[in-house]
Chain A
Amino acid sequence: MLVTVEHLAKTYGNFTAVDDVSFVVQAGEIAGLVGPNGAGKTTIIHMMLGLISANAGTIRLFGKDLEDDREQILQRLNFTSPYMAFPARLTVLENLKIFAGIYNVRNAAAKIIELLERFGIGRLKNKPISRLSSGETTRVGLCKAFLNDPELLLLDEPTAYLDPQAGIRVREVLLDLQRSRGTTILYTSHNMHEVQRMCNRIIFLGHGKIIATGTPIEVTREILNEHRDAPALDEVFIRIAGRQPDEAVSN
């Protein structure tokens, strides 16, 4: 298993953000970590990156414990989220050169240009980040995420700030890169159509707990508790979002 999360828990005072969460992600898979706001998706991703320490549980990536082998693990994965930012006065190229340096990327200049072109922002390379739109900055983040040819990619709502056209393009690039490089992706999103299209398997969260896991159709049948011929993750999402915390794992 590329990712093994066991009995993960995180509390802030009386608030439980993540409650005894366990899941695995296999190599080459695109797994969706989905759920309403406050479900614990981003907290889990931040714990997988070592940015937040867990109160209980273990995270093993590439068969190694995150607490013991942080450096080796983080060298082999990457992450992006539209909610993170870059130094605003620095240009796109300068920012990406810094991260290429951190990840020790060979032929960094050529690699950066290739990624910028692929995500349709080659013309922006000499612009300061402060002059970019949210969607353009999101795509710079995606370029950063592919700099080190990661074996595992953690994408936290990667299309949240993109217009529909840019969203489609980014999804195509992601799928193309995933197919050609075999990258494993853990993907969070509120866009259920996108999740249905992108993910082989879904881990559905509600109030910090796992409610269902499986393919989109399996999760749809399990949560809606009826036979369906096609996935209906939008309906599942609405059903879960309407539940109270104590109902979250009633299934």
Chain B
Amino acid sequence: MKPYRIKAVIMRHLYEVRRNANHITYMVYWPIVNIMVWGFFTLYLRHGDRLQPSILSCLLGAVILWGLFNAFQRDMAVGFLEELWSRNLVSLFASPLSVSEYVTGLITVTFVKAMVGLTVEALIAWLFYHYDIFPMLPKFIPFILNLALFALTMGIVVTGLIFRYTTKFQAMAWSFAGILMPLSCVFYPFSSLPGFLRPAAWILPTTHSFEGMREAINSGGFSVLHFRWGLELNIIYFIVAVVFFRVMFESARLRGLLVKME
């Protein structure tokens, strides 16, 4: 991998952010709307002591972290879709740029954008709803990294599907995270799931990130168990996703789809 090529991909997507207002919408507008809606909801629940403060903290923490996961997965796939919509794929892949260099550049930009969204949400939660995520960040960071890695894995899978099946799968860019949400235990603990769904929820790294976050808020401790499960599952899924992507990419080359994508 050559750093100058990765830098060129980063430049390409930063120029796009500057020129395309949709990116500002994705990066800032939706996180603001999201945290405001949930923020007012927690104010309502807090009024008259309807719920314990730790549950309200879990709720707002979950909103912020789910927003990060969703943004990361979506921006990865949309970043790639932008090449497809602008018919730029042929120029890019007829150059010495490799797929891994392209994906590394895209991940870097996506990570920065997701962090901007996270910061905006955290600041609003702190200023307007008296929810300060920052002291908890050191304990959250390992779980945030697990979420980011799983979102990246999902982004790779969706991108592979788009390579192979073109825009037929582009809706997945926005909706794939949503499919995982019911089983990821974002707003409720794992123990509240019915028994038959628990095995499926347990093998999602997202479940372990949110369980870990809840444990950090409730007991102030760091759950090594949930961090390790999340990380090990992530490593397995990442390897599978890379293999899946290669298969999809080679299948697209064999079928001549790279030059016909629209």
Q: Which residues of A contact B (CB under 8 A)?
A: 10, 12, 42-43, 46, 49-53, 70-72, 74-75, 78-79, 81, 84-90, 94, 97-104, 128, 141, 144
Contact = CB atoms under 8 A, between A and B. Distances in A.
B11 A52 contact: no
Contacts of B228: none
Contacts of B2: 104
Contacts of B93: 49-51
Contacts of A10: 256
A70 B97 CA distance: 10
A71 B96 contact: yes
A78 B91 CA distance: 9
B250 A51 contact: no
Contact of B94 (A49, A87, A98, A100): A49
A84 B91 contact: yes
Nearest to A17: B256
Given A74-B94, A98-B12, A101-B11, A52 B258 contact: yes
B139 interface: no
Main DSSP-derived SS at the A contact region: mixed
A79 B20 CA distance: 28
Contacts of B91: 79, 84, 86, 99, 141, 144
Interface residues of B, number: 32
Interface string B222-262: 00000000000000000000000000001001111011000
A80 to B, nearest CB: 8
A85 B4 contact: no
A52 B96 contact: no
Given A89-B16, A89-B20, A51 B90 contact: yes
Contacts of A50: 93-94, 253
Interface stretch (B80-88, B164-172, B190-198, B200-208): B80-88
Interface in B123-154: none
B255 A12 contact: yes
Nearest to B101: A102
A114 to B, nearest CB: 20
Given A79-B91, A102-B97, 19 more contacts: A51-B258, A52-B253, A52-B254, A52-B256, A52-B259, A53-B250, A53-B254, A71-B96, A84-B88, A87-B15, A89-B16, A94-B15, A98-B15, A99-B91, A101-B5, A101-B7, A101-B11, A103-B95, A104-B4
Interface in B80-130: 82-83, 86-88, 90-98
Contacts of B88: 84-87
A141 B83 CA distance: 16
A61 B88 CA distance: 24
B24 interface: no
B8 interface: yes
B256 A97 contact: no
Nearest to A12: B256
A79 B94 contact: yes
